[in-house]
Amino acid sequence: MNAEFSNELISQHGSPLFAYDLDAVAARARTLIAGLPEGSRLYYSFKANPLPAIARELRAHGVRAEVTSVGEMVAAKNAGFEDNIVFGGPGKSEAMIAKVLAAGVRHFSCESFTDAARLSKMAVQAGVEITAMLRVNPQQAPDARLAMSGVESQFGFDEALLLADGAAERLRLPNFTMNGVHVYFGTQVASVEALAKNTRCALETAERVSRALGFECTVVNAGGGFPWPYASDAAGSDLAGLREALDAEWRASPLHGKAQLCFESGRYLCASSGTLLTTVLDVKRAGTKTYVVLDTGIHHLGGMSGLGRIPRASLTLLNLTSQRDGELVMDVVGPLCSPLDSLARGQKMAPVEVGDVLAVTNVGAYGLTASLLGFLSHETPAEVAYRGAEVVEAWRLPCWHASLRDG
């Protein structure tokens, strides 16, 4: 993003500000779809970024919606998704299920025997039939930087429990039809080989589980975890050869030609679209250290700290105001009254001055809504979606208390 456009956005909507390039969303959607086996379905994981313009852009490319809360379901509905929504996630309450059923959602990813019983109960109450993929935690170890399956985790059915005697009976429930298997290994899967291996494992798991439970597996959601750099201007991942590698696994599976193959992605689809613009408020010395104080911090980029990943020296801060000579080592901190409000420690960067506008790229996924928004009650930054040099829409996510007194 050039300095002139970013200054224009800041003068209109203030600093800090998230700006999302819809052309980047479209480009990533096209690349990923082209990298999947012919006929497979791609779901957008709203947890990465529920921004309306991003969701609409992805829907226009034929991507479906994967949601895990009532808020994400409403965001999907508002973006025009209808019967192409799947609702998942651990810990679905009766109230949540009632709301999503009332909104017309009929496809679920089911996490446990209790979840299955609850989904069935609520479907009976609503007088509707639902289908459910069983989310399985396979017994094989995954290839993912943040593993969520193939290791002990709170996600999905432990595969051994589904293969044990009595499991099929526990899942024979009214208004509830098992139709598939869902395996999500984790995020930031680093290579095409690892993605292919995980897909093979998901297909094998689907076969084992559906055979043991005696249901027809018509859907396999093989997850994804397609990678993209976070908050750094490192080159995006090379998915060359993905289609050939996934195709080979898919064609080798006995489920090929019988089941619908699906994938899901959040990060890859929207990370590259987002840039956080921030202004330097102060540059301070303390002993041997230099601190750059920004108007943004972990309340806007909390995904990093919240996930235990304060990036320290890996953050990229592009100075849009001035490229100065030299290199200093600085700690880049935010405006919150906590020493944890640190975006980078020991960052090597050219000198900055108060008033400089800096840009953090590749923060379109797990940026604002993955952050500590309410902490210290700062106003949330505006979020602007643009195409070329045209602003398409702008929003501000509320984070104040709203009284419940008047209902």
Ligand X SMILES: Cc1ncc(COP(=O)(O)O)c(C=O)c1O
Q: Mark residues 265-304: x for contact with ligand X by CB under 6 A, - for none.
A: xxxx------------------------------------
Q: Which residue is nearest to ligand X (CB)?
A: 266
The H or E element that residue 218 is part of is: none
Question: How many of the chain's residues bind ligand X (CB under 6 A)?
Answer: 15
The H or E element that residue 222 is part of is: strand 219-224
Give the integer Cα–Cα distance in Å for 337 and 167: 51
Binding to ligand X in span 188-247, by CB under 6 A? 224-226
* Partner residues linked to 224 by β-bridges: 264
Radius of gyration of the chain (CA): 23
Closer residue to ligand X in complex, CB, 272/279: 272
Closer residue to ligand X in complex, CB, 278/369: 369
| Strand segments (E) across 183-252 | 186-187, 219-224
Residue 60 half-sphere exposure toward CB, CA atoms < 13 A: 11
CB of 363 to ligand X, least distance (A): 13
Residue 45 interacting with ligand X (CB under 6 A): yes
According to DSSP, the β-strands at 390-396 and 130-137 are unpaired
CB of 87 to ligand X, least distance (A): 12
CB of 49 to ligand X, least distance (A): 9
Closer residue to ligand X in complex, CB, 253/265: 265
CB of 100 to ligand X, least distance (A): 16
Nearest Cα to 107, choosing from 91, 130, 134, 123?
130
According to DSSP, the β-strands at 382-387 and 17-21 are parallel
Q: What angle do CA 62, 63, 68 make, to 5 degrees?
A: 150
CB of 137 to ligand X, least distance (A): 11
CB of 372 to ligand X, least distance (A): 18
Give the integer Cα–Cα distance in Å for 47 and 264: 11
Nearest Cα to 264, choosing from 50, 16, 33?
33
Closer residue to ligand X in complex, CB, 21/264: 264
Tokens of 311: 């990036």
CB of 223 to ligand X, least distance (A): 6
Q: Mark residues 332-371: x for contact with ligand X by CB under 6 A, - for none.
A: ---------------------------------x------
Residue 48 interacting with ligand X (CB under 6 A): yes
User: Which residues of this chain interact with ligand X, rule CB under 6 A?
Assistant: 45, 47-48, 148, 184, 187, 224-226, 264-268, 365
